[in-house]
């Protein structure tokens, strides 16, 4: 398996040259407290931790997996010790407010650290990412007691957190949720039910785990309007969870570990709540509104996983293709003194490498742009909040689909060796496959994008984003501007056509949603590639000319070899819902009769 190296040059290009993070921090009112020197020092230290501590555990953790017993769950050898080192380094508190023990740094800086941690060890980093979501939820919706007793411990890393939504009968449709919350009459609630697919539900990283749980109060309205949100700790303070300092076990336990395709080193748990003591977060029957804070955080973290799997595929496939010798160039031997030429002489290998590269580097630009919007949203900027809502389903859905494609291509570059475990490429495929499923499948993200983010506000947020893209045209190099302008005009026309067609036949919405999300993803990535190429051309006189030349060449490849996929998606959308809905359900039943 190739040794992981944090892509620091790529991160510096995005943060320093493409998005000018220093100017961004100035706009947030941070002054000189956060600058290039501070940011690079933090990321460089994170890179050392990732390369030296986390990455060596990536493959061994997958091979060993987690271990369940009635006493609890243990993670693979070295995982808990790595977490202790992570806490000692102060990483959990990076973007938390000072009043809860945090360092009050921008979320966009946290994203950069999260990128390299996820790449170094995806399964390990999932626990820290979910804890971040729990922190954000309590910060936004928790009361004073919850912040003082639980958020401070989460911010320090002394405790970790989970998100407990899914039940055996209840996946993306939370209206079927059955977990019950009975009022104990003392400010606490008895939580009873079973949750499945709970990442990090039980482990040996920390003594206490804070579960953020959706449940129903007695007499609550049916459907999603009757769901409340609760904080359920693994360990409680005192008899009722509020008094005393002694911790005792709450009535929550891990019933089993899921037997999964990938991410074997992450404990994915079946969690049983048997009258466990919990605390209401926010208002009764408004739990889903509060949980959206967690879900949106998790969706952005999952977008990051799309980048993770693309970057790992790139590092593995490119290193192998440069070293491996097989066959001869069609133009004749390029290394006549060797028995064969490098794989990189073959156009199809170049196609695969450039496809992965265009996804990886494009995804980084996309995610860091959204991270900047997250900073602005927290400062109270309403437009940034709307743009984040619009872009989140695109980034989550599209980038994770790209991550799977990149991981699969990574195996293909290795040929038969890619199918063998020692190279790590097949693990990347197995680990990547979950990313399009959890936190809402690509189909769910597609319907969220068209239904909630485009149609509900009459396309106003979409129009605002298109305006931002058009405002950037003067800075786009003329080699890419005409194609980008045509693509944006087409996206606008296509969106209006779908809105019009859905008004007459709502099935048009569902039939076009996936194709529309993917079309949107290819288009947004085209904007970022045009911007990256323009910056690279402007800086081409700098010392690292090969780096900038590669940026321009990859942008050219993306526009000519990847972006044309969007035209097939456009045709699929225009062909409408009739072909999808032509057969009756009985017709399908006959196929398995």
- Residue carrying structure tokens 């305006």: 467
The DSSP code for 453 is I
* Whole-number pLDDT of residue 295: 84
- Residue carrying structure tokens 């045009």: 530
With contact defined as beta carbons under 8 Å apart, do 494 and 519 qualify? Answer: yes
* DSSP run (H or E) holding 191: strand 189-199
Q: Which residues pair with 275 in a beta bridge?
A: none
State CA 334 to chain mean position distance.
41
Catalytic residue among 202, 311, 439, 508: 439
- Residue carrying structure tokens 């700098």: 542
Between CA 267 and CA 125, with CA 177 as vertex, the angle to 5 degrees is: 25
β-strand pairing of 252-257 with 268-281? antiparallel
Round to whole Å and give the CA distance between 534 and 529: 8
Residues 443/351/423/53 CA torsion (nearest 10 deg): -70
Closest CA to 235 of 215, 253, 209, 200: 209
- For the chain, residues with pLDDT lower than 70 are 1, 238-245
- The pLDDT tens digits of the residues spanning 9-20 come to 999 999 999 999
Catalytic residue flag (residue 439): yes
Residues 80/82/86/88 CA torsion (nearest 10 deg): 80
Residues 42/9/309/510 CA torsion (nearest 10 deg): 100
* Whole-number pLDDT of residue 85: 97
With contact defined as beta carbons under 8 Å apart, do 210 and 134 qualify? Answer: yes
Question: What pTM value is reported for the model?
Answer: 0.95
Could you give phi then psi for residue 112, rounded to 5 degrees? Answer: -65, -40
- The pLDDT tens digits of the residues spanning 490-549 come to 999 999 999 999 999 999 999 999 999 999 999 999 999 999 999 999 987 777 889 999
DSSP reduced 3-state for 269 = strand
Closest CA to 441 of 511, 493, 391, 514: 514
Round to whole Å and give the CA distance between 78 and 76: 6
Round to whole Å and give the CA distance between 264 and 268: 8
The DSSP code for 525 is H
Angle of the 55-64 helix axis to the 122-141 helix axis, nearest 10: 100
- Which burial class, exposed, middle or buried, applies to 504 when counting CB atoms under 10 A from its CB (0-12, 13-18, 19+)? exposed
**What is the sign of the dihedral through the CA atoms of 302, 307, 310 and 315?**
negative
């Amino acid at each position: 398996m190739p040794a992981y190296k944090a892509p620091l040059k790529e991160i510096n290009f995005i943060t320093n040259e493409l998005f000018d993070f220093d100017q961004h921090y100035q706009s947030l009112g941070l002054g000189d407290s956060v600058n290039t020197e501070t940011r690079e020092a933090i990321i460089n230290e994170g890179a050392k931790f990732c390369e030296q501590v986390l990455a060596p555990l990536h493959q061994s953790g997958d091979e060993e997996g987690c271990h369940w017993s009635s006493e609890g769950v243990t993670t693979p050898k070295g995982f808990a010790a790595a977490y202790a080192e992570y806490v000692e380094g102060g990483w959990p508190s990076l973007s938390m407010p000072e009043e809860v023990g945090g360092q009050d740094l921008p979320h966009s800086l946290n994203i950069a650290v999260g990128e390299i941690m996820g790449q170094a060890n995806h399964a390990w980093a999932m626990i820290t990412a979910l804890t971040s979501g729990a922190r954000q939820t309590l910060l936004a919706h928790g009361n004073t007691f919850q912040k003082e007793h639980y958020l401070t411990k989460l911010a320090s890393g002394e405790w970790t957190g989970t998100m407990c939504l899914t039940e055996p009968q209840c996946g993306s449709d939370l209206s079927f949720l059955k977990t019950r919350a009975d009022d104990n009459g003392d400010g606490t609630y008895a939580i009873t039910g079973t949750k499945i697919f709970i990442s990090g539900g039980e482990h040996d990283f920390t003594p206490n785990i804070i579960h953020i749980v959706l449940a129903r109060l007695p007499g609550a309205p049916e459907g999603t309007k009757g769901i409340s949100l609760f904080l359920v700790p693994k360990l409680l303070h005192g008899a009722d969870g509020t008094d005393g300092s002694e911790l005792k076990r709450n009535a929550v336990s891990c019933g089993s570990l899921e037997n999964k395709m990938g991410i074997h080193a992450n404990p994915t748990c079946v969690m049983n709540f048997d009258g466990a003591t919990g605390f209401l977060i926010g208002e009764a029957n408004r739990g889903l509104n509060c949980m959206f804070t967690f879900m949106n955080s998790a969706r952005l973290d999952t977008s990051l996983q799309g980048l993770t799997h693309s970057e790992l595929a790139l590092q593995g496939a490119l290193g192998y293709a440069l070293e491996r010798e097989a066959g001869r160039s069609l133009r004749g031997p390029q290394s006549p003194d060797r028995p064969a030429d490098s794989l990189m002489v073959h156009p199809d290998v170049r196609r695969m490498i450039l496809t992965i590269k265009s996804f990886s580097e494009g995804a980084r630009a996309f995610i860091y742009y959204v991270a900047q919007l997250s900073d602005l949203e927290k400062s109270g900027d309403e437009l940034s909040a709307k743009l984040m809502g619009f872009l989140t389903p695109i980034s989550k859905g599209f980038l994770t689909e790209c991550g799977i494609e990149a991981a699969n291509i990574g195996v293909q570059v290795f040929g038969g060796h890619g199918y063998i475990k020692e190279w790590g490429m097949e693990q990347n495929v197995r680990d990547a496959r979950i990313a399009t499923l959890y936190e809402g499948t690509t189909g769910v993200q597609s319907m969220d994008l068209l239904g909630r983010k485009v149609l509900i506000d009459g396309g106003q947020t979409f129009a605002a984003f298109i305006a931002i893209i058009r405002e950037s045209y003067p800075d786009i190099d003329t080699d890419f501007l005409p194609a980008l302008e045509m693509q944006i005009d087409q996206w606008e026309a296509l969106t209006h056509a779908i809105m019009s067609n859905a008004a007459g036949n709502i099935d048009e919405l569902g039939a076009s949603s996936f194709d529309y999300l993917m079309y949107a993803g290819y288009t947004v990535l085209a904007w970022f590639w045009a911007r990256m190429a323009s910056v690279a051309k402007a800086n081409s006189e700098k010392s690292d000319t090969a780096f900038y030349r590669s940026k321009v060449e990859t942008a050219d490849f993306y526009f000519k070899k990847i972006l044309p996929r969007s035209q097939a998606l456009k045709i699929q959308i225009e062909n409408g819902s009739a072909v999808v809905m032509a057969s009756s359900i009985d017709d399908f039943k006959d196929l398995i009769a």
